[in-house]
Structure 1
Amino acid sequence: MARRRRMFSKRREGFLGSLLRQLAGLLVIALAIGYALAYTPSIPRRALERLYGTPPSQFLQLPSGSRIHYRDEGPRDAPFTVLLLHGTASSLHTWEGVVARLKDRWRIVTMDLPGHGLTGATAEGRYDRAGMVAAIARLVDHLGLARFVIGGNSMGGEMAMAYALRYPDRVAALVLIDSAGLALDLSDRHVPIGFRLAAIPLLRPLIARITPRSLVERSVRAVYADPARVTPALVDRYWRLMRMEGSRRALMKRFAALADEPPLAVERLSVPALVIWGREDHLIPLAIGEELSRRLPHSRLVVFDDAGHVPQEERPSETARAISGFLETLAPPARPGGDRKDTGPTDAGADRSRGDKRP
């Protein structure tokens, strides 16, 4: 009797083991099928350059083999040259509406930072703050800019301030639009889903391979005050450029670098600064913009009621008008085009007003 029980027990264990192995096999197959269906392929660089790298786009070839995508528009004899930098997962195209309104009067340079846009992944592989500043410095030297205005949106504002701290003699003024650079909590529920996921280290390898258009669309809509302004073409551009070969891995390295980067010592920035903020920005709230403006020695804060995290896309006319008005308050450089040091800001350029300006 005991022998029969042992035989039955062994058969049952064998059956259960076989069943578990079959279920595990089915699970692996299901996961493989799910991965295959969800996998988002990369797009060749050349294909994206044909779509988004047409004139006035230019490329600076680096000794490493990497290239920096940039645009240089407006008169070379303009009173000032302005270099504008985009935010995380964005590209220089974010400035097109603003550039169109400024380039008749000012020389405007825009660039794709490493790991972004048509610059994409670089041979240097440096996507931390120091790597970004080094790329900016290369372009600035290539263009021969000795003193100019630098600005940016979100991460671009952070890199503009980081550049100004590293090269204070080169910067005449700052334009900071919903800028990063102070402490930021990416786990907040108001932060776009794509950013929250990328902030989780275990998910980064997955995001580098699976990036559905719906995820990008949700993230873009989340940074607009009015999601109805987000067009299919806009989402497609963000989605496609993010999928350039190597760019998603580079972007995940950028998110990894955030943990090791302390807030910037913005109090050391003595040049005039225009701080623009969208009142409906839930990624970097207005309270941070107000703190940034308080801590900058010579700043003016302008708030747009009907704008989120990217006023340059949602409110290009008002953004361009604010920038142009700010530039008019600055003393002109010694020579046109920003290719020599200027004589410093006028008193108006050093306005320390904290009042909101509503368009």
Structure 2
Amino acid sequence: MSRRMSEATSIHSFDSIPTMADVEATLGSVDMNQRYELYSGRLISFAEVGHPCGHPVFCFLGLGCMRYYSVILEDLAFKHQLRIYCIDRPGVGMSHTAEPESWTPLRMAEIVEEMADGFNIQRFSVMGHSCGAIYAMACALRLKSRIVGTVWLMSPWVHLTLAKRMKWIKHVPTTLLKSQSTASLLYKSLSVAAKEPPRSSDPNILNYDREKLCKAMLEDNMAESLEGANNDLMVCLELYHSFGFSYKDVTLPVHVFWGTKDPVITREAVDWMEQKLEQCTLSVIDGGTHGLLWRADVVSKIFKGIASSWKLAEFERSLSQRWSIKQLGLSSNNNRHLAFRTSAYSANDQLQQAIQTSNIYDSLHEASLHPLHAHPLDDAESC
């Protein structure tokens, strides 16, 4: 039977500027160190941060990054009443390993589906950073009916032919790429690239030294396992096989954030996504690097969009339920029931018409869609 397995103490919120002792206590908390047993018997480690009763969001981090990085999302997730689930992919953190030859992004979608079923999460949102975008898009394809609103991506990894700055990796011998030392070196280099320098107009997501936080998370990460960084690397390079799908197959709306100083992902790559995806919005962050996950303004935009999508979905569900009750009332009168059945409009058409003429829907619709069309991103309000 699938179940959660937790360790250590409970996570706490910060009423003042946290010290590194607070950080270490948080990284060792129950919510940051949970494990889930799949039906196969394999264990997957994960973290939960944000509002304990918030709307569920599965967050996929970058190359080799483990669940600890979700701590920087804690305060904003709580503010927007979201519950972030951050899963360690096989071989990362405390998650059991998987053979790189058999590991694909679509298998991650299967893990998410099993965990969501185990937690009785019927619907959820998804977001991804860097190579985590591959796994977010895999979920968008396989679990489309369960995803609420937009798929949110930051500095997304794309096919290697488009990620031109990394094409040199393809020429490195496979035996060297598969070595632990190479994965560790590459992971460290991308961790450095992921650190967004603070700006006066963009306060830290959490108010303590980012360098110390990065060091603490990196040390804890390497103390557990970095073997999964190899799997991620093989997936990014499509060394054993392709992703198993194309981003173009995803029909859900996708919102991409990309920084003009990103040393990993080129503008051509995100332009390709904007052009080829069925529904794609691109927000260009002037001066942003690969580490948009650290940007409070970007994360706040995403969380506001997710929260708006949930409000809209809840209103539409409530309206649909009221419409069903109305139909039941009509069925009590045979003549009216027959008249209803022979109406020129289907139930869905009538529902859509009711939605379109609802002032409540208009306000929610405007609130949810307005932030999606900022291109490029204006100076967003800080949290």
TM-score normalised by structure 1 residue count: 0.68
Q: Is the 8 A contact 2:90 2:97 kept in 1?
A: yes
2:275 aligned partner: 294
Q: 1:77 to 1:215 in 2, by over 3 A?
A: closer
Distance 2:212 2:154 in 1: 24
Q: Is the 8 A contact 1:126 1:132 kept in 2?
A: no
1:326, distance to aligned residue in structure 2 (A): 1.4
Distance 1:54 1:116 in 2: 18
> Matched residue of 1:332: which SS?
helix
Q: How does 1:1-359 map to 2 (within 5 A)?
A: 52-57=27-32, 58-75=34-51, 77-78=53-54, 80-104=55-79, 105-122=81-98, 126-172=102-148, 173-184=150-161, 190-191=165-166, 196=169, 200-205=173-178, 207-208=179-180, 217-224=188-195, 226=197, 231-235=211-215, 237-238=217-218, 240-242=220-222, 244-245=224-225, 247-248=226-227, 250-257=228-235, 258-259=238-239, 260-262=241-243, 264-313=245-294, 315=295, 317-330=296-309, 332=311, 348=366, 349=368, 353=373, 355-359=375-379
Deviations 1:87-137 (A, max 9, x none): 111112223222321223222222212222332525998532233222222
Deviations 1:209-244 (A, max 9, x none): 5777x7654442234454998625514533552453
Gaps of 5+ in 2: 1-6, 9-23, 200-208, 322-350, 353-360
Distance 2:182 2:256 in 1: 36
1:191, distance to aligned residue in structure 2 (A): 4.4
1:33 aligned partner: none
Deviations 1:252-311 (A, max 9, x none): 244334221158433343323221222211211233223213333333322222321121
Gaps of 5+ in 1: 1-45
Aligned length: 299
- RMSD over aligned CA atoms reads 4.1
> Matched residue of 1:312: which SS?
helix
1:331, distance to aligned residue in structure 2 (A): 5.3
Q: Which amino acid aligns with 1:251?
A: A
Q: 1:157 to 1:169 in 2, by over 3 A?
A: same
2:19 aligned partner: none
Q: Is the 8 A contact 2:129 2:154 kept in 1?
A: yes
> Matched residue of 2:224: which SS?
coil
Q: Is the 8 A contact 1:278 1:307 kept in 2?
A: yes
Q: Which amino acid aligns with 1:293?
A: E
Distance 1:219 1:86 in 2: 12
Q: Is the 8 A contact 2:255 2:283 kept in 1?
A: yes
> Matched residue of 2:263: which SS?
coil
TM-score normalised by structure 2 residue count: 0.64
- Structure having greater relative contact order (Cα 8 Å, sep ≥ 6): 1
Q: Percent of counterpart pairs with the same letter?
A: 17
Q: 1:216 to 1:156 in 2, by over 3 A?
A: closer
Q: Compare CA radii of gyration and give the structure with the larger one.
A: 1
